[in-house]
Amino acid sequence: MAHGSAGAGPEGAIYTSPSLWLASHPVYSTLLKLDDERWVQFAFKVRVRPNSYKVQRSTLSSSKHWDARIQMDPNMPHNESLEWLIPSSADVLVVGLMLRELGPSVDASVFGTLASRVSAHQVEGPEYSWTALLKGALQSGAYSIDNGDLRLGFNSVEWQLCNMRTKGDEYEPRQRIMSSSFDLGNPGITDCRISWGKTSAACYSICVSFTVMSEQPLWVVLSCGEYCRHILIAASSGYQAWAYSPKKEDVLDKLADSICVHLRFHRANISAQVLCLSVSDNKCFWNIDPAMLDHTYLSEFSRIRSEVASLTISGVELNVYMVMYPRGFVSAHREWCKVRVFFCAGPLLATLTYELSLGHKRVKRTLVLQSELQTTVTVREKRSEFLNSGNTKISLEIVSLI
């Protein structure tokens, strides 16, 4: 658990992989010292009960332990779907034990020439020596992942992806191509990544995640082809925002062979207080400025994100933020506003009952809270009635947390 438990539930999980290359990475399979300049690794071969596991992308691919542009396993075209998380040990059966020796004195005919070149003389130790040798060999063998080209500007970035028809066949639903991480210092954006992925067999989405370090609210403008979305986010530090493609998603048969995503940040000329949440006991409120909802930028798929607020319920700290869709959708020639609320309580499994209101509309729901969860039911109100009601307040009340 020294390297975290990404993707696991509150009770933890057993991490397995269909790739021996990933399972034997030093992060997971420690190099044990046998003698001077000689080490050994162990890996278990297991059988896993079908449908008992959750699949996720390699979490090493976005860390210092591996380069996201290099295939972790030469037998697989990308680093998606390399980690299998199994909640119960009853669904795993150990059927074998494998070992590998590393160091200048090992038998290269058995363990390979690369393993015989591992040395402890490197400053960071034999583990980094081994991963550096692996990355170098895979890179020279052209086992690379095309994660696009980034062109950074003053407060913007352009991400170009080519050979999209081929990628459409290689990537399964919920698998994504991730750009390299980058920073934009002027608007205060760090650890920014853009990604492309299939949401179903025939549809795709473009997403962006980043950490905001600005002291002033920001407009985020995400565009690709004819699609453009504006997002107004609160001044904050340390949270991530996501911008998804519109519900009218493109069919892969019509997808161009290359796509170009433009991402731009600029400071919003509004008070930071506009996006603040007021907290009182087990309630939080967000007073929406009606004039802000008519901003030129706020088109059908735009959204406004509040700051993150903290509530303490029954001794448990619960972080909350809200997302407002000023023109959520059009139905029967009427525009609707809608709001979603996001909860985050860390490694907590609890039953949460809450009431969420938008203007005069109110819903009460109970849900099981696991790490970060979006409400499954959205409060919506006719835009005209919401703006003319004299009550442009969004309120959240936590009724109980068990």
pLDDT band at 28 (very low <50, low <70, confident <90, very high): very high
Could you give the CA distance from residue 138 to residue 66 in angstroms, rounded to a whole number?
Answer: 12
Residue 284 in this model has a pLDDT that exceeds 50: yes
pLDDT band at 159 (very low <50, low <70, confident <90, very high): very high
Residue 89 in this model has a pLDDT that exceeds 60: yes
The whole-chain average pLDDT of the chain stands at: 81
For 3-18, write each residue's pLDDT tens digit: 556 666 667 789 999 9
Q: Which residue has the higher pLDDT, 246 or 91?
A: 91
For 215-235, write each residue's pLDDT tens digit: 788 888 888 877 778 888 877
Between the alpha carbon of residue 252 and those of residues 246, 301, 304, the distances in Å are 15, 21, 30
Residue 32 in this model has a pLDDT that exceeds 60: yes
pLDDT band at 74 (very low <50, low <70, confident <90, very high): very high
Q: Which residue has the higher pLDDT, 243 or 369?
A: 369
- Highest mean pLDDT range out of 8-17, 35-44, 182-191? 35-44
**pLDDT at residue 238, rounded to an integer:** 54
- Highest mean pLDDT range out of 80-84, 300-304, 326-330? 80-84
**pLDDT at residue 205, rounded to an integer:** 78
Q: Which residue has the higher pLDDT, 24 or 63?
A: 24
**pLDDT at residue 7, rounded to an integer:** 60
Residue 23 in this model has a pLDDT that exceeds 90: yes
Q: Which residue has the higher pLDDT, 392 or 130?
A: 130
**pLDDT at residue 10, rounded to an integer:** 60
pLDDT band at 247 (very low <50, low <70, confident <90, very high): very low
Residue 390 in this model has a pLDDT that exceeds 60: yes
Q: Are 23 and 97 in contact (CB under 8 A)?
A: no
pLDDT band at 246 (very low <50, low <70, confident <90, very high): very low
Provide mean pLDDT across the span 301-327: 82
Global pTM reads 0.72
Residue 251 in this model has a pLDDT that exceeds 50: no
**pLDDT at residue 229, rounded to an integer:** 80
Question: Which residues make Cβ contacts (< 8 Å) with residue 180, sequence separation at least 6?
Answer: 68, 69, 147, 150, 193
Residue 96 in this model has a pLDDT that exceeds 90: yes
**pLDDT at residue 105, rounded to an integer:** 92
For 204-216, write each residue's pLDDT tens digit: 778 888 888 777 8
**pLDDT at residue 336, rounded to an integer:** 79
Residue 146 in this model has a pLDDT that exceeds 70: yes
Residue 341 in this model has a pLDDT that exceeds 60: yes
